[in-house]
Amino acid sequence: MCIDKSWPSGGPDWAAVGVLLREGSVLLIKRVEREGDPWSGQVAFPGGRWKPGEDLMGTVVREVEEEVGVRPTALVGVLPPQSPSNAPWLKVVPFVFSQWVGEVRPNPREVREARWISKGEMSEGEWMGRRAYVAGDWVIWGLTYRILKRLIECGLL
């Protein structure tokens, strides 16, 4: 199954990312470099960890709003959870949205840059012995690469 309309409730070992689709492109961010952040400086989807008192939909809406200033409104569906290789205990659920309220404005405390990237702008190759996409000067690897691959396989991007 490619996409579902239900999602897990969340918990301490859960996170959610927002996949924002617009006219054949997807919004990706480059995280600020921060000591102690295992994903410092990497290309990613906006998102983050679950907090007590919210479900994963609440997590993704909060995190997307915090990181890029828009509030997702139209859910296309949810992809199956995946785990980053450096945190195999963490389950990350990608929420795919086609609409939101507001204009994308990266939060400089968390996001160095945000870009809309189309499938045609990405070339597939290797980076440090791992499969990756390259889009301009951005290298997209790891969990973000795997989510993008799934979006393409499912015909969403």
DSSP code string of 28-47: EEEEPP-TT-TTTT-EE-SE
78 - beta bridge partners? 4, 95
For residue 14, the model assigns a pLDDT of: 97
| DSSP H or E stretch at residue 151 | helix 142-153
How far apart are the C-alpha atoms of 59 and 95, rounded to whole Å? Answer: 10
For residue 86, the model assigns a pLDDT of: 83
For residue 1, the model assigns a pLDDT of: 65
| Whether the Cβ atoms of residue 33 and residue 39 lie closer than 8 Å to each other | no
pTM for the whole structure: 0.94
For residue 95, the model assigns a pLDDT of: 98
94 - beta bridge partners? 17
- Domains identified in the chain and CATH numbers: 14-33+42-119 (3.90.79.10)
Q: Is 147 helix (H, G, I), strand (E, B) or coil?
A: helix
Amino acid at 31: R
For residue 39, the model assigns a pLDDT of: 63
How far apart are the C-alpha atoms of 5 and 19, rounded to whole Å? Answer: 14
Strand pairing of 130-135 and 14-22? Answer: unpaired
- Quote the strand ranges of 23-129, DSSP E: 25-31, 43-44, 47-49, 71-78, 91-101, 111-118, 123-127
Q: How many residues are listed for the chain in this entry?
A: 157
Low-confidence stretches of the chain (pLDDT beneath 70): 1, 37-40
For residue 142, the model assigns a pLDDT of: 94
